[in-house]
């Protein structure tokens, strides 16, 4: 799955490999040219022992030109490799983020925010590095090993014996280190997930930490997660640190063997001293290539671990998919027919056997004790979750039959937590309708009782909002979020306990404005306060996941004991 993102950059990858082959070829030419300088230029073996500076100069100039050409090939290989790997990483990161944006709420909860951040940052970087190493490093190592071994054996067949003995020792060490480190790479990324989660929780919840004087506790939490990460990384590095000394020992022993064999051949006159120098250089290139291969294996192993983690995201399809039915005519009617629902990690139903009809233009309030299923009920309408059984209908059509964009275009929702983005107030409101004019934005803000405080801001509607809206009060954030929903001009408006931070006067003014300016819009209002719902056309009382009663305030006061208890606890004293 990850490999498909490389296809569009195969030309750059191929060019990078070709240029790398040329660079290594140049490196392999140099030992023979150096041998020519020593044997015939300095020692003059072909000239009765008389040095020939023309050979030294001419061959030296050729070496210089070849080195320059090799350096150019290396630069071009690096450019093509980075072009391929960076664009590949860019595409994978975008694809992962796009998948995450389409995840259902339950899938986001399953992976956790910290893990998703790690996967779209660190894991993509690890896979990107793996691709870069495969394109350049593997080609370089393979060339040095194959072509270098051939070049070494052509100098003297006995030199091949050294390679045959040294190579298994190196491969055994590489295999041992990779066997020990491979399980640690997945653990390493998991520890990084945990650390990112702690950071994300503390940055977003900094005010809570400070308010409850928990800085020391959170410092300890972070220190623990960071120590776990560093400890795992340390174990990997310790194992990797064994590799280079052992390889250096093998390299030096092999070099001694080459020199010894070469000395014997020089004595019997079968090879020249310069040839021994070339052989030592070839051996160094071969074994250094194998050492580099060990580091590449580490990068590839870690990259494969990250690749599997990315595949989990890229291969995960949201259970909330577009329907294939034809959208109904717009009206704003909502119907629940024998709906049952439970969260994936909870066995018991949160909602069971819900039957409820909301007429177009009606204002339905939903009230009940905390945790009774009010928010779960309205989250089924835009398909943040799907019902386990029964049907939820919008304008007479099952919501599962709608294309998601069509369904959600009919619904404007303001959630319990008012999420704002780090842009201007106007742009935060315009998220509800990208084509909204400045006049429409202000009209929505006036209805939401937000215009007054916005006009008092330094740049009014163009005032920047801090991250997560932290530069505004809770009530101000709620009113901007309501403005964003109103400017959408949807048929159905859902206010999910989104007026809890408003004072009674502001909330009353908002309700009045909604009745007057948006009388044709179906409104579903979840609230905890009787004062927020008593003027609704009907009030649905939710108790333990069922609709205990649904009627007007006056009738519920006469017939519904649960509603009477809520009223008594909130408003009886004030009325008295």
- In this predicted model, what pLDDT tens digit does every residue of 309-340 receive, in sequence order? 888 888 887 777 887 777 777 888 899 999 88
Burial 300-337 (b: 16+ CB within 10 A, else e): bbbbbbbbebbeebbebeeebeebeeebbeebbbbbbb
The secondary structure of residue 330, as a DSSP letter, is P
Same domain, 296 and 349: no
Long-range contacts of 156-162 (CB under 8 A, 24+ apart): 156/261, 156/262, 156/265, 156/270, 156/271, 156/275, 156/279, 158/261, 158/265, 159/258, 159/261, 159/279, 159/283, 161/261, 162/254, 162/257, 162/258, 162/261, 162/283
- More confidently predicted of 214 and 134: 134
**Token pair belonging to 12:** 């750059």
Closest CA to 377 of 397, 355, 359: 355
Cβ-based neighbour number of residue 263 at 10 Å: 12
- Sheet containing 389-394, strands listed edge to edge, beginning at the edge strand earlier in sequence: 351-358, 334-341, 389-394, 397-398
Same domain, 359 and 482: yes
Q: Looking at the domain assignment, is residue 329 inside a domain?
A: no
Same domain, 15 and 120: yes
Same domain, 169 and 272: yes
The average pLDDT across 227-242 equals: 81
- More confidently predicted of 280 and 109: 280
Burial 199-234 (b: 16+ CB within 10 A, else e): eebbeeeeeebeeeeeeeebeebeeebbebbeebee
Domain with 110 in it: 10-314
3-state SS record for 129-177: HHHHHHHHHHHHHHHHHHHHHHHHHHHCCCHHHHHHHHHHHHHHHHHHH
* 358 contacts 335 by C-beta, under 8 angstroms: yes
Q: Looking at the domain assignment, is residue 5 inside a domain?
A: no
pLDDT surpassing 80 at residue 247? no
Q: State the Cα–Cα distance between residues 554 and 559, nearest whole angstrom.
A: 9
Same domain, 211 and 289: yes
Q: What is the pLDDT of residue 211?
A: 62
Q: What is the pLDDT of residue 336?
A: 92
Q: What is the pLDDT of residue 421?
A: 82
Q: State the Cα–Cα distance between residues 240 and 181, nearest whole angstrom.
A: 8
Q: Looking at the domain assignment, is residue 305 inside a domain?
A: yes
Q: What is the pLDDT of residue 576?
A: 46
- Sheet containing 538-543, strands listed edge to edge, beginning at the edge strand earlier in sequence: 411-414, 492-496, 522-526, 363-368, 538-543, 546-551
* Sequence-ordered strand ranges (E) for 317-394: 334-341, 351-358, 363-368, 389-394
Which residues, 6 or more positions from 172, have their beta carbon under 8 angstroms from its beta carbon?
none
48's torsion region: left (phi>0), alpha (psi -120 to 50) or beta? left
Cβ-based neighbour number of residue 270 at 10 Å: 12
Please identify, among 283, 314, 345, the residue that sits at the C-terminal boundary of a domain. Answer: 314
**pLDDT band per the 50, 70, 90 thresholds, residue 485:** confident
The average pLDDT across 433-458 equals: 86
Q: State the Cα–Cα distance between residues 33 and 63, nearest whole angstrom.
A: 7
CATH code (residue 498): 3.40.50.300
Burial 444-457 (b: 16+ CB within 10 A, else e): bbbbbbbbebbeeb
Q: What is the pLDDT of residue 206?
A: 67
Q: What is the pLDDT of residue 72?
A: 92
| Mean pLDDT, the chain, whole residue set | 82
**pLDDT band per the 50, 70, 90 thresholds, residue 208:** low
The average pLDDT across 146-173 equals: 80
Helix (H) or strand (E) holding 526: strand 522-526
Pairing of strands 492-496, 411-414: parallel
* 177 contacts 243 by C-beta, under 8 angstroms: yes
Q: Which of 84-93, 180-189, 529-538 has the lowest mean pLDDT?
A: 180-189
Same domain, 453 and 523: yes
Report helix, strand and coil shares of the chain as percent, to nearest 5.
65, 10, 25
Please identify, among 280, 314, 348, the residue that sits at the C-terminal boundary of a domain. Answer: 314
Same domain, 281 and 402: no
Count of domains for the chain: 2
Same domain, 390 and 288: no
**Token pair belonging to 378:** 């309205």
Same domain, 209 and 251: yes
pLDDT surpassing 60 at residue 572? no
Q: What is the pLDDT of residue 488?
A: 86
- In this predicted model, what pLDDT tens digit does every residue of 492-528 receive, in sequence order? 999 888 777 777 788 788 888 888 778 888 889 888 8
Same domain, 297 and 346: no
pLDDT surpassing 80 at residue 425? yes
Pairing of strands 363-368, 538-543: parallel
Q: Looking at the domain assignment, is residue 208 inside a domain?
A: yes
CATH code (residue 115): 1.20.1560.10
The average pLDDT across 39-64 equals: 75
Question: Coil, strand or helix: which one is 356?
Answer: strand
pLDDT surpassing 60 at residue 529? yes
Q: Looking at the domain assignment, is residue 321 inside a domain?
A: no
Share of the chain above pLDDT 90, in %: 2
Q: Looking at the domain assignment, is residue 198 inside a domain?
A: yes
Q: State the Cα–Cα distance between residues 236 and 240, nearest whole angstrom.
A: 6
Query: What φ, ψ does residue 428 adopt, rounded to 5°?
Result: -65, -40
pLDDT surpassing 60 at residue 417? yes
pLDDT surpassing 70 at residue 347? no
Q: Looking at the domain assignment, is residue 326 inside a domain?
A: no
Q: Looking at the domain assignment, is residue 288 inside a domain?
A: yes
pLDDT surpassing 70 at residue 212? no
Same domain, 87 and 130: yes
Same domain, 56 and 112: yes
């Amino acid at each position: 799955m990850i490999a498909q993102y490389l296809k569009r950059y195969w030309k750059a990858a191929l060019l990078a490999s070709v240029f790398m082959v040329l660079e290594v070829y140049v490196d392999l030419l140099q030992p023979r040219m150096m041998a020519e300088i020593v044997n015939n230029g300095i020692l003059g073996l072909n000239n009765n022992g008389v040095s020939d500076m023309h050979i030294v100069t001419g061959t030296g100039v050729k070496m210089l030109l070849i080195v320059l050409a090799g350096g150019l090939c290396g630069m071009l290989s690096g450019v093509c490799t980075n072009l391929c790997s960076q664009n590949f990483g860019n595409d994978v990161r975008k694809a992962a983020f796009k998948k995450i944006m389409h995840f259902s709420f339950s899938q986001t909860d399953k992976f956790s925010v910290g893990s998703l951040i790690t996967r779209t940052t660190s894991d993509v970087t690890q896979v990107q590095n793996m691709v870069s190493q495969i394109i350049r490093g593997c080609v370089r190592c393979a060339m040095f090993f194959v072509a270098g071994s051939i070049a070494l054996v052509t100098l003297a067949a006995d030199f091949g014996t050294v390679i045959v003995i040294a190579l298994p020792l190196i491969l055994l060490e590489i295999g041992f280190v990779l066997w020990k480190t491979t399980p640690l790479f997945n653990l390493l990324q998991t520890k990084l997930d945990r650390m990112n989660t702690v950071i994300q929780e503390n940055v977003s919840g900094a005010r809570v930490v400070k308010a409850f004087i928990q800085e020391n506790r959170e410092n300890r939490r972070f220190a623990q997660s960071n120590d776990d990460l560093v400890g795992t990384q340390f174990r990997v590095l310790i194992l990797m640190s064994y590799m280079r000394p052992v390889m250096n020992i093998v390299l030096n022993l092999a070099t001694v063997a080459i020199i010894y064999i070469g000395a014997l051949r020089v004595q019997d006159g079968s090879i020249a001293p310069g040839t021994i120098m070339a052989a030592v250089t070839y051996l160094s290139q071969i074994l250094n290539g194998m050492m580099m291969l060990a580091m590449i294996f580490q990068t590839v192993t870690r990259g494969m671990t990250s690749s599997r983690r990315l595949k989990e995201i890229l291969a995960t399809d949201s259970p909330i998919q577009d329907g294939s039915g034809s959208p109904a005519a717009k009206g704003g009617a909502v119907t629940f027919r024998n709906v049952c629902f439970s969260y994936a990690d909870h066995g018991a139903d949160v909602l069971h056997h819900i039957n409820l009809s909301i007429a177009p233009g009606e204002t339905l309030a939903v009230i009940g004790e905390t945790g009774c299923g009010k928010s779960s009920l309205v989250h089924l309408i835009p398909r943040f979750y799907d019902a386990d059984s029964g049907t939820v209908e919008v304008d007479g059509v099952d919501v599962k039959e709608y294309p998601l964009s069509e369904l959600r275009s009919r619904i404007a929702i303001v959630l319990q937590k008012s999420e704002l983005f780090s842009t201007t107030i106007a742009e935060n409101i315009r998220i509800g309708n990208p084509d909204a004019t400045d006049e429409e934005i202000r009209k929505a803000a006036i209805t939401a009782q937000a215009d007054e405080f916005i006009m008092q801001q330094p740049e009014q509607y163009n005032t920047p909002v801090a991250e997560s809206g932290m530069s505004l009060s809770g009530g101000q954030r709620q009113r901007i979020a309501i403005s964003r929903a109103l400017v959408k001009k949807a048929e159905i408006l859902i206010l999910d306990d989104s007026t809890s931070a408003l004072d009674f006067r502001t909330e009353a003014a908002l309700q009045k404005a909604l009745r007057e300016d948006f009388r044709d819009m179906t409104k579903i209002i979840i609230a905890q306060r009787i004062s927020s719902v008593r003027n609704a056309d009907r009030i649905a009382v939710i108790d333990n996941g069922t609709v205990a009663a649904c009627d007007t305030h006056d009738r519920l006061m006469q017939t519904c004991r649960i509603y009477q208890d809520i009223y008594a606890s909130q408003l009886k004293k004030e009325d008295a």
